[in-house]
């Protein structure tokens, strides 16, 4: 029986989805290399239909974070595994239309090149399409980077790469710095070790947004599998590799995150830092050292390692990922722990509390602390009026704590809420940049204008971006680059910690000061993972049933408002319309609320919960905290139970 016969039989027997069979047959007939053909033949022969469903039920798609997926299958074929590298990587990335491998990567690169070439033509530009490509430490990252660069130059473009792993924020900066037309970073951020990804950036250094995202996807979808074969052999002879100056210029820009350099002279701040085997130490440690911060590294996690052997997940959102750093801080009496994820765009922290113990902070708490401190510091320095101004703004996502909305209002500055993903925050910067550039007229160079002067001009003609944040541990101090920056976040938060210490307080005590001003806010998150083809169907079922039959209540608490961003029109504080998305905001009778959405970067359904309790004075704060936690925990259980019921078609 041939492979085609076995596939047909599996479809008839309900073991293989029709879409998976179509894609699998197309790949078998697509002239794959011998090792790839052998891998698929082995999986078919073994009857690994569940694995083949996951690999082929669709083509890997772009989400809020670009294209991200498995590069190592759950079930591996012998030809894929081959001889393991010294770092534990299989010989080949797994074969499949829904995986990140040479074939799906090349389709993405070819499609991106076609779109950029067309875009330049509409701009009447004769320049060659120029791309900057960075990569992290994951399996196949360097190989994918060089292969993408090789393909780009063979297509007639200019490609620039780094001499080794670099952070995602440095890629964002470099696109602007080198005046490239696009950029790519090969990373799966904080995903598990078996994943990798392809994040695409546009001319402004931000991740792609409409209409460019749909245009690029259309071009990628139009690339046949047969078109990639001629590019599978690397030739990087025409690829430019960046030198030390590119690193120095990024570090100089990231250092502008520090608003008050004198703060580190007023007290000694001792920090434990971990890069969790990723790229963070390349820039974060030099930034902290240069500012005068005493840094102790976690030795077990310093070396690059695609397997992330010391953690269950290389995600600074998870307490377990910071456990070695926290233990080191407890032992050595250090003030602060900071950790960056594998591609260096997120930062997690733990601080010493009044009892002398290390205490983990959430992304919402860190963002609130940074927002309050930085707005107050800008006022103190005279960058913005003491009473605030609507011409200066903080930008956050809808799923980030409403405490930051309260902080912004309290300081008299504008607060912009965006969809999830830092590309939407960057989109606001682009609007404000374009407005200023238009006002200043021909010859005005936005990036060349000194930061302080740019801040003044933006307040005069547009809006000055003060700070941006999302709850998932992403922060950006200014608009010199256009993606969240874990490196500058380390510097920003070290400044806050030093300022607090110089006041004789702890960071949690500063957070309590904020609560006493604006009320107590507590957040929670529910992540429900559903992998593969069947998992995608379950996530879709939750989203569809929320729209068709919104929840009327949770326990005894009624739903008072249900906002559907996919069907209703919403506008931000600039009166700009929010793009449609499968995002739901649900408000309850007790004033609590939550947001629901499918993750754009991982196979999961996400719920973001928000509790709020009024506080009249310091004596009320402990009771408010306890009430919020108890109520939120109960609500969390009800929401999750309802979601799982909907996923199984029972809701």
DSSP secondary structure string for all residues of 573-605: TTSPBPPP-SEEEEEETTS-EEEEEE-SSSSEE
Strand 593-598 with 604-613, pairing: antiparallel
pLDDT at 604: 87
pTM of the model: 0.95
Q: Which stretches in the chain have pLDDT values below 50?
A: none
Tokens representing 500 are: 């607090």
Is 189 catalytic? The answer is yes
Structure confidence at residue 550 (pLDDT)? 96
How confident is the model at residue 62, as a pLDDT? Answer: 67
* pLDDT recorded at residue 478: 96
Question: What is the predicted pLDDT for the residue at 6?
Answer: 96
The two tokens of residue 624 are 């408010």
Nearest to 63 by CA among 616, 610, 599, 631: 599
330 Cβ contact partners less than 8 Å away, ≥ 6 residues apart: 357, 358
Alpha helices in 412-506 (DSSP H): 422-440, 451-461, 486-502
Catalytic residue of the set 39, 89, 172, 189: 189
């Amino acid at each position: 029986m041939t492979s085609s016969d076995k596939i047909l039989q599996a479809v008839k027997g309900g073991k293989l989805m029709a879409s998976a069979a179509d894609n699998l047959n197309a790949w078998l007939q697509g002239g794959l290399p011998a090792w790839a053909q052998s891998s698929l033949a082995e999986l078919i022969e073994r009857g690994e239909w569940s694995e083949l469903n996951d690999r082929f039920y669709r083509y890997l798609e772009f989400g809020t974070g670009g294209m991200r997926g498995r590069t190592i299958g759950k079930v591996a074929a012998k030809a894929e595994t081959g001889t393991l590298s010294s770092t534990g990587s299989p010989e080949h990335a797994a074969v499949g239309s829904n995986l990140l491998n040479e074939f799906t990567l090349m389709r993405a690169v070819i499609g991106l090149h076609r779109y950029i070439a067309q875009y330049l033509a509409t701009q009447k530009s004769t320049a060659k399409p120029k791309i900057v490509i960075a990569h992290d430490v994951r399996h196949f990252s360097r190989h994918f980077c060089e292969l993408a660069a090789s393909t780009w130059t063979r297509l007639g473009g200019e490609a620039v790469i780094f001499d080794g792993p670099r952070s995602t924020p440095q890629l964002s900066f470099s696109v602007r710095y080198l005046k490239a037309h696009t950029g790519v970073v090969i990373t799966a951020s904080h995903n598990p070790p078996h994943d990798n990804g392809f994040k695409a950036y546009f001319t402004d250094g931000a991740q792609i947004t409409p209409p460019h995202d749909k245009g690029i996807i259309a071009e990628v979808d139009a690339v046949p599998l047969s078109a990639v074969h001629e590019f599978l052999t690397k030739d990087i002879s025409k690829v430019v590799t960046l030198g030390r100056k590119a690193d120095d210029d990024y570090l100089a820009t990231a250092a502008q995150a520090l608003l008050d350099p004198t703060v580190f002279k007023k007290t000694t701040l001792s920090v434990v830092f971990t890069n969790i085997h990723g790229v963070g130490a390349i820039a974060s440690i030099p930034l902290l050292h240069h500012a005068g911060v005493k840094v102790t590294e976690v030795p077990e996690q310093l070396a690059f390692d695609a397997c992330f052997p010391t953690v269950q997940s290389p995600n600074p959102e998870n307490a377990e990922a910071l456990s070695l750093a926290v233990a080191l801080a407890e032992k050595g009496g250090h003030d602060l722990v900071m950790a960056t994820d594998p591609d260096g765009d997120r930062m997690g922290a733990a601080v010493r509390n009044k009892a002398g113990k290390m205490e983990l902070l959430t992304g919402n708490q860190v963002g609130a602390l940074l927002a309050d401190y930085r707005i107050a510091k800008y006022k103190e320095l005279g960058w913005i009026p003491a009473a605030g101004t609507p011409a200066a703004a903080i930008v956050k996502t809808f799923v980030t704590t409403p405490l930051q909305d309260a902080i912004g209002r309290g300081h008299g500055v504008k607060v912009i809420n965006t969809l999830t993903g830092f590309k939407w925050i960057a989109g606001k910067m682009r609007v404000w940049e374009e407005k200023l550039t238009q006002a200043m007229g021909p010859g005005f160079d936005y990036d060349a204008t000194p930061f302080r002067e740019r801040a003044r001009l933006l307040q005069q003609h547009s809006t000055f971006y003060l700070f941006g944040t999302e709850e998932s541990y992403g922060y950006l101090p200014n608009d010199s680059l256009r993606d969240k920056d874990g490196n500058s976040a380390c510097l920003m938060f070290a400044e806050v910690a030093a300022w607090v210490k110089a006041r004789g307080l702890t960071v949690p005590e500063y957070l309590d000061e904020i609560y006493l001003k604006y009320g107590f806010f507590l957040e929670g998150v529910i992540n429900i993972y559903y992998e593969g083809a069947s998992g995608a169907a379950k996530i879709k079922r939750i989203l569809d049933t929320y729209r068709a039959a919104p929840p009327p209540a949770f326990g005894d608490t009624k739903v008072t408002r249900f906002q559907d961003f996919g069907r209703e029109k919403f506008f931000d504080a600039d009166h700009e319309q929010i793009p449609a998305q499968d995002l739901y905001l649900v408000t309850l009778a007790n004033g609590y609320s939550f947001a629901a959405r499918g993750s754009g970067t991982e196979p999961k359904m996400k719920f973001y919960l928000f509790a709020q309790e009024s506080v009249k004075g310091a004596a009320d704060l402990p009771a408010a905290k306890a009430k919020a936690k108890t109520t939120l925990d109960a609500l969390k259980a009800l929401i999750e139970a309802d979601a799982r019921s909907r996923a199984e078609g029972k809701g």
